[in-house]
Structure 1
Amino acid sequence: MQFFVKNIRPETAKTATLVLPVGEGRSLGALAQAVDQASAGALSQLLKRGDISGKPGQTLLLHDLPNLKAARVLLVGSGKEALSDRQFRKLVAAVHGVLKGLGGSDAVLALGDIQLKGRDAYGKARLLVETLADGGYQFEQFKSQKAEPRALKKITLLADKAELAEVERGSLHAQAIASGMAFTRDLGNLPPNLCHPSYLADQARALAKAHKNLKVEIIDEKKLKELGAGAFLAVAQGSDQPPRMIVLDYHGGKKGEKPFALVGKGITFDTGGISLKPGLGMDEMKYDMCGAASVFGTLKAVLELQLPINLVCLLACAENMPSGGATRPGDIVTSMSGQTVEILNTDAEGRLVLCDTLTYAERFKPQAVIDVATLTGACIVALGSHASGLMGNNEELLQQLLKAGRSADDRAWELPLFDEYQEQLDSPFADIANIGGPKAGSITAGCFLSRFAKQYPWAHLDIAGTAWISGGKEKGATGKPVPLLTQYLLDRA
């Protein structure tokens, strides 16, 4: 779908569908009043009939209004006061639901009179375009019968002259973020027999080939052994699929400027290993690489925007399978940092690939490191599916991420890393155990990672509840937290 921004009067717009807001109590804003006057009061007459009250998200489709160049007018309820982000997203989704069912190839959205709480013209345009673009996502490459191509190809946003530049900027950023989200969703939704560590390495090579300021290095099993990545290799040793650490190095900033680093958990399928998961719903463990997928998607957004920063993306990719060669509960391994780990549960594998990758990140001397992982079911219990868990060792970095999440409407919630939680990881046989018992599982996982992230400002995002939707027809990857991560990098740029 293509998006354009124009400064024209709504009554003069030549389009298949013109979208206008109606306030609660059937009140018309300035843009809708201009259309009403041009159409000899047609809107006012229709509103008097009471077919639409103006509650947020209500829609009414009108045909052939006099003196307009638009073939149809779609009225959408906008409420009686400034809308929240969630209300606005629902309103936009309702509009999109009507538009995609029509035969018209384009639409003009004159929604400037709608007010959003805490958002300016840029913020509103960003939320609008991102919702529309993400709402048009489809994943059907494995279906023998594809859906009919959608007629809607082009959407134009109307903006005041004074706000034109900000609306254009918001639209541009939203399109890049939506593109990154789509890439993340595609990777997450792919079946695990195709999307394995070597496949992700191929995706990285293709991305680097398309962009001159992006370099790629694929660290294979042999090199991982040379690096002493014993924790990383322990996860992969039960699988026929070889592990890969993928390093993507983007240079958009000044030469010699310290990079930001994103580290993504890329467990392309997680059976739990010898600590085998229950069979019900195990198909969704293909989504255990959504941390790596979201780093991929964020990088894609950065590349589209060519942000003036330096960024290193490290993807820890492996498959966790049970076999005669798999890691056993009770095994002790030596991590790249030299710390020994007693593996009490082979289903706590994400932290094992991440800890060695966090150690590897030290060589880039990063300004800050953010790891992203579908790490713990406990995070879903704590926060549900509406916010990602956030932990870290640097207050400034944590506040920057919380702010970015609010700005992007892709929120995180901070959890503590008190010393008392660290004690749950004590092992009688090794430096650290890989689990801390049944209590505060998300926090003890963060505590584990913190032992390997002492050389730089570090934050951990647990996206187990936000990275995908479970079960039913709506099952699929969400593309989160690409908006949050991209906003964080936009703020730094």
Structure 2
Amino acid sequence: MEFLVKSIRPETQKTATLVIPVGEGRKLGNIAQAVDKASAGAISAVLKRGDLTGKPGQTLLLHSVPGLKAERVLLVGSGQGELSDRQFRKLVASAHGVLKSLAGGDALIALGELAVKGRDAYGKARLLVETLADGAYVFDRFKSKKAEPKALKKITLVVDKAEVAEVERASLHARAIVAGTTFTKDLGNLPPNLCNPVYLAEQAKALGKAHKNLKVDILDEKKLKELGAGAFLAVAQGSEQPPRMIVMQYNGGKKGEQPYALVGKGITFDTGGISIKPAAAMDEMKYDMGGAASVFGTLRAVLELQLPINLVCLLACAENMPSGSATRPGDIVTTMSGQTVEILNTDAEGRLVLCDTLTYAERFKPQTVIDIATLTGACIVALGSNASGLLGNDDDLIQDVLKAGQFADDRAWQLPLFDEYQEQLDSPFADIANIGGPKAGTITAACFLSRFAKSFKWAHLDVAGTAWISGGKDKGATGRPVPLLTQYLLDRVK
């Protein structure tokens, strides 16, 4: 979809659909008043009939309004006073839902006057374009009958002349973020018989070929064994699908400048191994590579924007299956760091591939490291599906991530990482156990990872509740936390 930004008088423009807001109590802002005046009061006459009260998200479609060049006028309720991010998104999504159902190929959207709490023109436009572009997402690759092509191809945003540059910048950033979330969604929604560790490695190689400033290395089983990645290999040994550690280095910053690092959990299917999961909804364990998919998506956004930073992306990719060669509860493995782990539950496998990948990250001397993982069901119990869990060893980094999530409307919530929780991981036979019992599962999982992140500033995002929508016909990958991660990197550029 094409997005244009113009400072124009919408009442004079030819378009398939003109979108204008109506406040609660049928109040019209300056733009809507100008449109109403051009129509000789036709808009206000319709409102007096009471078909639309102006509550956020209400819509009323008018055809052939006199005095206007627009073929249709879509009135959208905008409520009273400042809108929250959620209200604004719902309002925009309601308008987009109507626009998608129409035959018109373009739309003129004049919502710039709306006040959104804590957001300037750039911030509002970011939410607006992301909501519109993301709302057009369809995944029908495996449908024998494809979705009908959408008529809506072009959207023009009407803004004040002084805001054009900022809104254009917001549109550029938003479109890159949506390109990233789309890539992440597509990877997540693929079936596990296609999307395996080797397939993800091929996607990385394709990105490397397309971008000269992206270096890609793929570490196979032989290389992982040479590196002493015993925990990583233990997860993969029950599957016929070979594991891969994918290393992608984006060099957009100054030569020799320390990179930022993103580490993603890429378990392309998780049966739980010998500690097998219940059958119900096990199909959704194809989404256990959501962390790796979000790193791919964030890198895609960075590549599109060509951000002036250096970035290392490390993906820990394996399949967790039960078989005669699978890891057993009670096995002890030696990690790349030399620490030994007693595996008490083979379904706590994500931390095993991540711990070796975090150790590997040390060689890049990163400024910060953020790992992203669909790690614990306990995080869904604690936070539901609205916020990602956030833990780490550096207060400044934690605050930076929280701030980025707040601005991107892709929020995280900090959980404690107190020393007392570390004691739950004590093992009588090894340096550390891979689970800490039934209490505080999200926190003890992060405690485990923290033991492999002592040499750098580190944050951990548990996206078990946010990476996909569970169950029913709306099931699917969300693309989160690509907006948060991209915003974090945009903030580093500033």
Aligned to 1:460: 460
Aligned to 1:91: 91
Q: Which amino acid aligns with 1:244?
A: R
Aligned to 1:178: 178
Aligned to 2:254: 254
Q: SS where residue 366 of structure 2 aligns?
A: coil
Shift of 1:347: 0.2
Distance in 2 of aligned mates of 1:299 and 1:232: 23
Aligned to 1:273: 273
- Cα deviations by residue, 1:109-166 (Å, 9 ceiling, x for unpaired): 0001211000000000000000111111000000001121111111110110011111
Aligned to 1:126: 126
Percent pairwise identity: 82
Aligned to 1:365: 365
Distance in 2 of aligned mates of 1:140 and 1:378: 32
- Cα deviations by residue, 1:452-483 (Å, 9 ceiling, x for unpaired): 00000000000000000000010000000000
Shift of 1:13: 1.7
Q: SS where residue 351 of structure 2 aligns?
A: helix
Distance in 2 of aligned mates of 1:290 and 1:376: 13
- Cα deviations by residue, 1:264-292 (Å, 9 ceiling, x for unpaired): 00000000000000001000000000000
Matches within 5 A, 1:48-447: 48-447=48-447
Q: Which runs of 5+ in 2 are unaligned?
A: none
Shift of 1:421: 0.2
Q: Which amino acid aligns with 1:466?
A: T
Q: Which amino acid aligns with 1:121?
A: A
Shift of 1:360: 0.1
Moved more, 46-55 or 321-330: 46-55
Aligned CA-pair RMSD: 0.5
Shift of 1:48: 1.2
Distance in 1 of aligned mates of 2:232 and 2:420: 27
Distance in 1 of aligned mates of 2:325 and 2:164: 61
For normalisation by structure 1, the TM-score amounts to: 1.00
Q: SS where residue 55 of structure 1 aligns?
A: coil
Distance in 2 of aligned mates of 1:63 and 1:276: 58
Aligned to 2:450: 450
For normalisation by structure 2, the TM-score amounts to: 0.99
Distance in 1 of aligned mates of 2:382 and 2:9: 49
Q: SS where residue 140 of structure 2 aligns?
A: coil
- Cα deviations by residue, 1:68-89 (Å, 9 ceiling, x for unpaired): 1110000000011110000011
- Cα deviations by residue, 1:407-454 (Å, 9 ceiling, x for unpaired): 000000000010110000000000000000000000000000000000
* Structure 1 runs (4+) greater than 6 angstroms displaced: none
Q: Which amino acid aligns with 1:118?
A: G
Distance in 1 of aligned mates of 2:64 and 2:138: 32
Shift of 1:44: 1.4
Aligned to 1:475: 475
Q: Which runs of 5+ in 1 are unaligned?
A: none
Q: SS where residue 226 of structure 2 aligns?
A: helix
Distance in 1 of aligned mates of 2:334 and 2:148: 54
Q: Which amino acid aligns with 1:131?
A: T
Moved more, 62-71 or 15-24: 62-71
Aligned to 2:8: 8
Q: Which amino acid aligns with 2:96?
A: H
Q: SS where residue 188 of structure 1 aligns?
A: helix
Shift of 1:46: 1.2
Shift of 1:37: 1.0
Distance in 2 of aligned mates of 1:218 and 1:13: 53
Q: Which amino acid aligns with 1:25?
A: G
- Cα deviations by residue, 1:19-70 (Å, 9 ceiling, x for unpaired): 0000001010000111111111111111111111000001010111112111
Distance in 2 of aligned mates of 1:388 and 1:299: 20
- Cα deviations by residue, 1:317-347 (Å, 9 ceiling, x for unpaired): 0000000000000000000000000000000
Q: SS where residue 171 of structure 1 aligns?
A: helix
Aligned to 1:21: 21
Q: Which amino acid aligns with 1:325?
A: S
Q: SS where residue 312 of structure 2 aligns?
A: strand
